[in-house]
Amino acid sequence: MNQKALGRMRASEVGHTCSTESYGLLKLWQDWNRTHEILSLKWLACRGGARVGSPATQQGLAIRDRLDQNARTTKVAVFVNRRLITLFHAMPFSSLGLSPALLAAIEREGYSEPTPIQQEAIPAVIGKKDVLGIAKTGSGKTAGYVLPILHNLQQAPVSQYREPTVLVLVPTRELADQVQQVFQTFLPALSERLVCLAVVGGVSINPQMQAIGKVNILVATPGRLLELVEKNAVRLSSIATLVLDEADKMLNLGFREELKRILALLPPQRQNLLFSATLSEDVSLIQKGLLKNPQVVKIAAETDEIDLIHQLAYLVSEEKKGPLLRYLIKQGNLKQVLVFASSTLKADGIVNKLLKNRIHAAAVHSKLSQETRRFNLQEFKAGQLPVLVATDLLARGIDIEFLPCVINYELPRSPKDYIHRIGRTGRAENPGEAISLVSPAEMDHFQVIQKKMGKRVKILSGDLIDLQGY
């Protein structure tokens, strides 16, 4: 976060105004003091037109306290040596209406400031509004709904419910596990004993049938949820809040029937929260009854921002993709790289070739057992497995901290999936690299992807690289 702020400052040089953005003023102050000789630093907070200034010599902490006292939308201007260097909105978590217990847990988690989507979504969800949340990959959408949902559950007397009141639907088992873990991060902070369970397919249903009786928050993939409903293991008639994470995917043809069946089981009066990086403000959602009078929270990617994902492509003949991949891994000394393939068969083929060339690799795709999928993803996240080859199953939502590199062995069919795939790197303000291996036959499609993304990608010739021995 601060690194980015610093990078931008250096790039823009003192004297230019940076775009509005929220980051920790305290950190900013500390970093600047470390790296610059500041003769005078002045900050100015504007609220409702009134200006409150503070002299430069004040401690960062004091500035922070002052910000905490201010209500939402505090505009902060930072001057260095009388020049405006940045102007941004500072908004502490404490201004969003969350309970003290949750604020303490957020601090323990090390989140210093809410991300832009969290700033907007959290008060809206607390206010029981329907929300359509659109923000780029890795921008903290999960906590954007998890935190206010927990806040609201704390306010409601839980004992009155014997059925789950919150349902989060996600497209993949891996994402269900991950969302459940985010709930689990914050649950212990609450005095009420709330239980969150993820129910997914591919594993035995019996333990889920036993556990589901005492659950307040249910995170599920649609298929397994319907199985549990059919077995009378759970009723959905008390669901007060429905979340569709990766909402555009959940509304896709592939999930349409299952989603329709699930929606029919929910009370019509409920709060609906839809989140995705690639979702349009679609009136049909309102017509379908999926959103009522929603608050639309759309965080546009800042165009003048240094993009944290560095994208690159190699034009390379199909038969040279394998050697080029191995070249990139070995030459780049890549220790953690996620490779996307177009099919389960292709993914297995890539893994086999890598293993033959003594590069430790494993796959995650739908033809593997859930245990293997979980194990391989865990090993990869833990840094034990340098190369994970996956299908688009892992394209959405999966959060791998500090993942430095994503390689598209083949392009995805949908430009949206391209955005999601590369979004596995460059998360939570960390830099990342996304490399695509594009065959001549894929070139037209790559142009379409770039156009949809609104960004040009530098294309190098892969065939010019000496791949002898790879």
**Nearest to Mg ion of 129, 141 (CB atom):** 141
Of 8, 42, 66, 141, the one binding Mg ion by CB under 5 A: 141
Q: Which of 5, 83, 93, 4 is nearest to 44 (CA)?
A: 83
Is there a contact between 441 and 318 (Cβ–Cβ < 8 Å)? Answer: yes
Stretch that binds Mg ion, among 1-9, 134-142, 153-161, 339-347 (CB under 5 A): 134-142
Question: Which CB, 277 or 315, lies closer to ligand ADP?
Answer: 277
By CB under 5 A, residue 138 contacts Mg ion? no
Closest distance to ligand ADP from the beta carbon of 221 (Å): 17
Min CB(310)–ligand ADP separation in Å: 18
Which residue lies nearer to ligand ADP by CB, 80 or 403? 403
What the block records as the tokens of 2 is 């601060």
Considering beta carbons, is residue 135 or 363 the nearer one to ligand ADP? 135
* Residue 171 found at the interface with Mg ion (CB under 5 A): no
- Residue 115: name its binding partner from Mg ion, ligand ADP, none (Cβ under 5 to 8 Å by kind): ligand ADP
Q: Which is nearer to Mg ion, 27 or 136 (CB)?
A: 136
The site partner of 27 among Mg ion, ligand ADP, none (C-beta below 5 to 8 Å per kind) is: none
137 binds, among ligand ADP, Mg ion, none (CB under 5 to 8 A by kind): ligand ADP
- Taking the least distance from each CB to ligand ADP, the nearer of 170 and 236 is 170
Smallest distance from the beta carbon of 370 to ligand ADP, in angstroms?
A: 21
Closer CB to Mg ion, 246 or 410, in the complex: 246
* Near Mg ion in 371-430, by CB under 5 A: 397
- State the binding partner of 143 from Mg ion, ligand ADP, none, CB within 5 to 8 A by kind: ligand ADP
Minimum separation from the CB atom of position 414 to ligand ADP (A): 17
User: Which of the listed partners (Mg ion, ligand ADP, none) does 139 bind, with a CB threshold of 5 to 8 Å by partner kind?
Assistant: ligand ADP
**Least distance (Å) between residue 449 CB and Mg ion:** 21
- Closest distance of CB 351 from Mg ion, Å: 26
Cβ of residue 95: shortest distance to Mg ion, in angstroms?
A: 24
* Binding stretches for ligand ADP (CB under 6 A): 111, 113-115, 118, 135, 137-143, 397, 399, 401, 427-428
Sign of the four-CA dihedral 145, 150, 153, 159: positive
208 or 276, CB closer to Mg ion?
276
Residue 249 touches Mg ion, criterion: CB under 5 A:
no
* Residue closer to ligand ADP (CB basis): 146 or 388: 146
Query: At its nearest, how many Å lie between Mg ion and the CB of residue 258?
Result: 20
What does the binding site for Mg ion look like in residue numbers (CB under 5 A)?
141, 397
